[in-house]
Amino acid sequence: MSILNPDMESMSSDERKALQSERLQATVKYEYANVPFYRERMDKHGVKPEDIRGIDDLNKLPFTDKNDLRDGFPFGLLAVPQQQIVRIQGSSGTSGHPIVTGYTENDIEVWTEMAARALAALGANSDSIVQVAYGYGLFTGGLGLHQAATRLGAMVIPMSGGNTQRQLMMMEELGTTILCCTPSYAIYLGEAARDMGILSQLKLKSGCFGGEPWTEKMRTELESLFGIDAMDIYGLSEIAGPGVSFECKMKDGLHINEDHIIAEVINPETGEILPYGESGELVMTTITKTGQPMIRYRTRDICMLNKEPCSCGRTTLRMSRLAGRTDDMLVIRGINVYPGQIESVLETVSGITPHYLIVADREASTDSLEVQIELTEDMFSDTISQIESLKNLIALQIKSVVGLQAEVKLVPPRSLPRSEGKSRRVIDKRRI
């Protein structure tokens, strides 16, 4: 559980501010000189590179968002000639058109260093056997953890996603000690291992789970299922893959690699910067990348930041677990609904494994909210009245947390769509 780069991860706050300020100034000058998109954006915004003298001037800079990447697809935001790009990563994008990010050799190195810090924090070293069950491809999960584990000298099993039977066979027979995949797939693997009766043969010690928002309840489930430490990791292809931030053994927020990234949290409606401890949209600026550096990139992920030093010894800013995405936000009868809110309700009502689906629909011009929940053994009873009262309790809690009457529907176990990658939390059937 070591700190891979104590010079960078545990530096004093003054040193860090000086380092970030120097790197931010350089990045802004570099972008202005090399990326017409940024030059025009900054000119339009009335800000020159020399106006940025340190991180306190960050808020003078305009935001960048997913639409800019979509409009500039594929190479509009590159700061270097295509010949210097050694890798393309990206995502399918929720609204159809893909977005891609070009990485130089330097950018791959930055990403690998960040992800290696994450794996080191959960105990990886040359003794480790790391099974990467994230997809390999444009999605950064697979290659990101692969590069990081290789950097640490661990033995990598590059399984990629899917093929559950073979995943478990390799896990058992090669003696995997660290599992890397999405948390929902990890639960799926654990349930399958339990059904096959091989859980006790596994040698897993820890898991590196990211790529989608998850909860403390899922952590407890994963840790007791596999008998491991389950840690969160965060990243996005536009900034770097997994490793942008990661949990240490304290499991109390994700340490942001601040020597490479500056993080802010803003009000998604107004763009105003929020104080530490307030929940809003995460905005990130890269300060060491050369291929496609991003300035004040709006991630659409909802979280809050914590400046308190961590007892692990790292001094970096920590971000909370993701509470959801601004994309996932549903507006139902004028009320904002985040999946994270529904999840917190399901967690407080004991005994519920958080497999659920939120369905928004519209009947006779009235919006409806349905929450489908997979029933567990603990929730089940031989009497209708007990099951109905549990449903009513959940509906009541949703009403008090969200402010909306929801139809709660109990469904059989494993009946909700569960992709082997990211799990789907929201379906919006409304035609607006």
Partner 1 sequence: MFVTQISIFLENVRGSLRNLTELLGESEVNLLALTIADTSGFGIVRIIVKGSDVENTLSVLHQAGYIAKTNKVVCVRVPHKPMGLAKVIAALDNAGISIEYSYSFYQKNFTDACIIIRPSEMEGSIIALEKAEINIVGQEEVDSFR
Rank residues 364 and 384 by Cβ distance to partner 1 and give the closer one.
Answer: 384
Residue 292's closest CA among 8, 58, 82?
82
Q: Residue 212's closest CA among 372, 25, 425?
A: 425
Binding of partner 1 at residue 419 (CB under 8 A)? no
Choices 30-38, 181-189, 262-270, 408-416; region in contact with partner 1 by CB under 8 A: 408-416
Q: Does 313 bind partner 1 (CB under 8 A)?
A: no
The residue type of 343 is: E
Q: Which two tokens stand for residue 102?
A: 């070009």
Of the candidate spans 1-9, 224-232, 337-345, 377-385, the one that interacts with partner 1 by CB under 8 A turns out to be 377-385
Task: Give the residue, chosen from 12, 385, 431, 432, that forms a contact with partner 1 under the rule CB under 8 A.
Answer: 385
Q: Is 224 in the site for partner 1 (CB under 8 A)?
A: no
Three-state SS for 251-281 is CCCEEECCCCEEEEEECCCCCCECCCCCCEE
- Show the binding pattern over residues 346-375: x = contacts partner 1 (CB under 8 A), - = does not: -----------------------------x
- Cβ-count burial of 432 within 10 angstroms (0-12 exposed, 13-18 middle, 19+ buried)? exposed
Under rule CB under 8 A, residue 412 binds partner 1: yes
197 lines the binding site for partner 1 (CB under 8 A) = no
State yes or no: residue 14 binds partner 1 (CB under 8 A).
Answer: no
If binding means CB under 8 A, how many residues of this protein chain bind partner 1? 19
CB of 391 to partner 1, least distance (A): 9
- Options 37-45, 95-103, 319-327, 413-421: segment touching partner 1 (CB under 8 A): 413-421
In the Cβ-directed half-sphere of 208, how many Cα atoms lie within 13 Å? Answer: 38
Does 376 interact with partner 1 (rule: CB under 8 A)?
yes
Q: Between 323 and 371, whose beta carbon lies closer to partner 1?
A: 371
Q: Which of 88, 393, 395, 410 binds partner 1 (CB under 8 A)?
A: 410
Q: Is 67 in the site for partner 1 (CB under 8 A)?
A: no
Please provide residue 220's backbone torsions phi and psi, each rounded to the nearest 5 degrees.
-60, -45
**Is residue 387 a contact residue for partner 1 (CB under 8 A)?**
yes
**Contact partners, residue 199, CB within 8 Å, separation at least 6:** 190, 193, 225, 226
Whichever of 152 and 352 has its CB closer to partner 1, that residue is 352
Assign residue 301 a region (left: φ > 0; alpha: ψ between -120 and 50; beta: otherwise): beta
Cβ atoms 293, 30 nearer than 8 A: yes
Q: Is 196 in the site for partner 1 (CB under 8 A)?
A: no
Residue (411 or 427) nearer to partner 1, CB: 411
Please count the residues of the chain: 432
Instruction: Please report the sign of the dihedral spanned by the C-alpha atoms of residue 22, residue 26, residue 32, residue 37.
Output: negative
Tell me the closest approach of the beta carbon of residue 143 to partner 1, in angstroms.
Answer: 35
Residue 271 falls in which region: left (phi positive, over 0), alpha (psi -120 to 50) or beta: left
Binding span for partner 1 by CB under 8 A among 167-175, 273-281, 336-344, 405-413: 405-413
Which residues would be at the binding site for partner 1 (CB under 8 A)? Answer: 195, 375-377, 380-385, 387-388, 409-415
